[in-house]
């Protein structure tokens, strides 16, 4: 068993996909829920007793100096090549510290510090088993050893994450190979991960560190959603990435028309006929520890319909256009419930709906059950929309424009939430 003694955090890049936010603030220093992303990484390392930390900086490097004042054990390493080379340059400038080391990105959010445990058996990456098709880097593992890695993804393999551990021996190999590729061959437009995976795979016997699926329940990676309008293509969402942690609330903010609602609709495949997911992956990790790549599902297929509404539900921003005026609110909630729980007794289903209406603050729910949408105020219609989304006890709740006459506090205790 080996143990990590130090960490290298990669933080030199532009963060171009988050512009204009990153025009004045490097991506790792962007605050999410009031906390800088890199702070969650540093705190996670400290919680695991890893206090010797090297941060490779480049873009807006002066902004990182505050970290040396706020945290003990931090040393900044400047990457002078950050604006002309790929991230191989960042590890190259930190190559002297490649022994018993953890390498990770600074622009991620670590909610569960257990994924940064220092103990490991072989050099390699934190990885998650993927059952279905993905276009992320995917490893094939036999008897605990990585035998190959596909840049183009695939299915039934181990998807690697940007957290890796390296023994002293493998770290020194990595140092030597970095010098060969970066200095001698001037191969400067590759990822540093290419070294062990593709340039010199025969010289490493990498393993994996299986990551607990409880850490991440939904991962959106480099999502691109487009619309065909007349003879042109509208790029509504271009390169959006985020992780939703179990038990956490994630807020997506931005100006009107920036693609928040389109992102939400893409997750559950509720795009209009002229809309489609053009790239990236949407991966859902349910309780059974299996990865379901939602972006690969047909929008009208059984696979996505069995998840939509039952496991991942959505509250739409306009109840006036969503509720059907010719059906009672009770029958509309019943339709959602029966579509996923066909075996449920009607009397039991009605009692469950009435209880939920009461829990959501609707007075006289037994009477209101049989009323029509026009008999409800705007705020009460919003509560009906919450009830439709909540009736199947979803694992994830997506709330579109929750601040618009929306009593979101009613729904928060029930499930994990994405606000858009």
User: Which of helix, strand or coil describes residue 283?
Assistant: strand
Q: Which of 15-29, 44-58, 333-347 has the lowest mean pLDDT?
A: 15-29
pLDDT digits (tens, 9 = 90+) for 119-131: 999 999 999 888 7
Q: What is the mean pLDDT of residues 18-46?
A: 86
pLDDT at 324 over 60: yes
State the pLDDT at residue 208: 95
**Cα 133 from Cα 298, distance rounded (Å):** 13
Nearest to 294 by CA among 225, 234, 212, 238: 225
Question: Residue 368: is the preceding peptide bond cis (ω within 30°)?
Answer: no
Residue 303 pLDDT exceeds 90: no
Q: Which of 257, 287, 252, 255 is nearest to 267 (CA)?
A: 252
User: Band of the pLDDT at 414, cuts 50, 70, 90?
Assistant: very low
pLDDT score for 98: 97
pLDDT at position 290, please?
65
Per-residue model confidence (pLDDT) at position 83: 93
Look at the block and give the residue holding tokens 């143990």: 3
Please tell me which of 31-35, 243-247, 254-258, 317-321 the model is most confident about, judged by mean pLDDT. Answer: 254-258
pLDDT at 197 over 70: yes
Closest by alpha carbon to 295, among 416, 136, 158, 419? Answer: 136
Angle at 302 between CA 300 and CA 305, to 5 degrees: 70
pLDDT reading at 226 higher than 60: yes
* Candidate ranges 67-81, 100-114, 206-220, 237-251; pick with highest mean pLDDT: 67-81
Output the pLDDT for position 411: 47
What is the pLDDT averaged over residues 174-180? Answer: 97
Does residue 147 have a pLDDT over 60? Answer: yes
- CATH 3.40.50.300 domain residues, the chain: 213-308, 309-420
Distances (CA, A) of 207 to 140, 143, 145, 166, 318: 10, 9, 5, 10, 49
pLDDT computed for residue 413 by the predictor: 45
- Homologous superfamily of 213-308 in CATH? P-loop containing nucleotide triphosphate hydrolases (3.40.50.300)
- Pinpoint the alpha helices (H) of 222-377: 260-267, 302-307, 319-322, 329-340, 346-359, 365-368
Per the CB < 8 A criterion, the answer to whether 33 and 90 are in contact is no
Residue 43 has which token pair?
A: 């705190």
Rounded distance between C-alpha atoms, residue 33 and residue 245, angstroms: 13
- CATH number 1.10.540.10 given to 2-122+167-197: no
The whole-number average pLDDT for the span 258-266 is: 93
Decide: residue 31, CB within 10 A, 0-12 exposed, 13-18 middle, 19+ buried.
exposed
pLDDT higher than threshold 60 for residue 315: yes
User: What value does the mean pLDDT of the chain take?
Assistant: 89
- What is the pLDDT at residue 286? 77
| pLDDT over 80 at 97, yes or no | yes
Q: According to CATH, what is the number of the domain 309-420?
A: 3.40.50.300
How high is the pLDDT of residue 33? 61
- The CATH 3.90.550.10 domain(s) of the chain lie at 2-122+167-197
Give the β-pairing of 6-11 and 101-105.
parallel
DSSP letter string, 339-395: HH-TTS-HHHHHHHHHHHHHHTT-SSHHHHTT--GGGS-HHHHHHHHHHHHHTT--S
Q: What does the buried/exposed string (b/e) look like for 137-168 if buried means 16 or more CB atoms within 10 Å of the residue's CB?
A: bbbebeeeebeebeeebbeebbbbbebbbbbe
């Amino acid at each position: 068993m080996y143990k990590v003694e130090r960490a290298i955090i990669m933080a030199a890049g532009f963060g171009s996909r988050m512009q204009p936010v990153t025009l004045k603030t490097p991506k790792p220093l962007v605050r999410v829920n009031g906390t800088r992303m890199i702070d969650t990484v540093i705190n996670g390392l400290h919680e695991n007793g890893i206090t010797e930390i090297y941060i490779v900086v480049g873009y807006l490097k002066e902004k990182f100096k505050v970290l040396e004042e706020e945290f003990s054990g931090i040393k900044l390493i400047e990457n002078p090549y950050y604006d002309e080379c790929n991230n191989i340059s960042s590890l190259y400038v930190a190559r002297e510290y490649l022994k018993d080391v953890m390498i990770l990105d600074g622009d991620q959010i670590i909610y569960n510090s257990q994924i940064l445990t220092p103990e490991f058996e072989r050099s390699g990456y934190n990885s998650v088993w993927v059952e279905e098709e993905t276009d992320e880097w995917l490893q094939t593992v036999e008897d605990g050893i990585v035998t190959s890695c596909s840049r183009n993804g695939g299915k039934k393999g181990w998807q690697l994450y940007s957290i890796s551990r390296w023994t002293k021996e493998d770290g020194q190999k990595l140092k030597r190979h970095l010098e060969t590729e970066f200095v001698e061959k001037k191969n400067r437009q590759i990822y540093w991960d290419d070294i062990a995976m593709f340039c010199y795979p025969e010289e490493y016997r990498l393993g994996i560190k299986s990551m607990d699926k409880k850490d991440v329940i939904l991962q959106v990676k480099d999502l691109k959603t487009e619309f065909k309008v007349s003879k042109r293509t509208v790029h509504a969402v271009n390169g959006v990435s985020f992780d939703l942690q179990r038990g956490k609330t994630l807020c997506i903010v931005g100006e009107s028309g920036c693609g928040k609602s389109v992102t939400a609709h893409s997750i559950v495949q509720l795009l209009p006929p002229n809309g489609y997911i053009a790239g990236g992956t949407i991966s859902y990790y349910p309780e059974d520890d299996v990865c379901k790549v939602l972006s690969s599902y047909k929008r009208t297929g059984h696979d996505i319909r069995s998840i939509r509404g039952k496991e991942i539900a959505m509250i739409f921003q306009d109840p006036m256009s969503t509720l059907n005026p010719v059906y009672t609110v009770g029958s509309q909630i019943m339709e959602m419930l029966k579509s996923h729980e066909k075996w449920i007794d009607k009397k039991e289903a009605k009692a469950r709906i009435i209880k939920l209406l009461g829990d959501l603050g609707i007075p006289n729910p037994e009477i209101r059950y049989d009323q029509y949408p026009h008999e409800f105020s705007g705020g009460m219609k919003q509560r009906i929309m919450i009830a439709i989304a909540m009736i199947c006890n979803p694992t994830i709740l997506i709330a579109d424009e929750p601040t618009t006459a929306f009593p979101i506090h009613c729904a928060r205790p029930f499930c994990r939430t994405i606000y858009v």
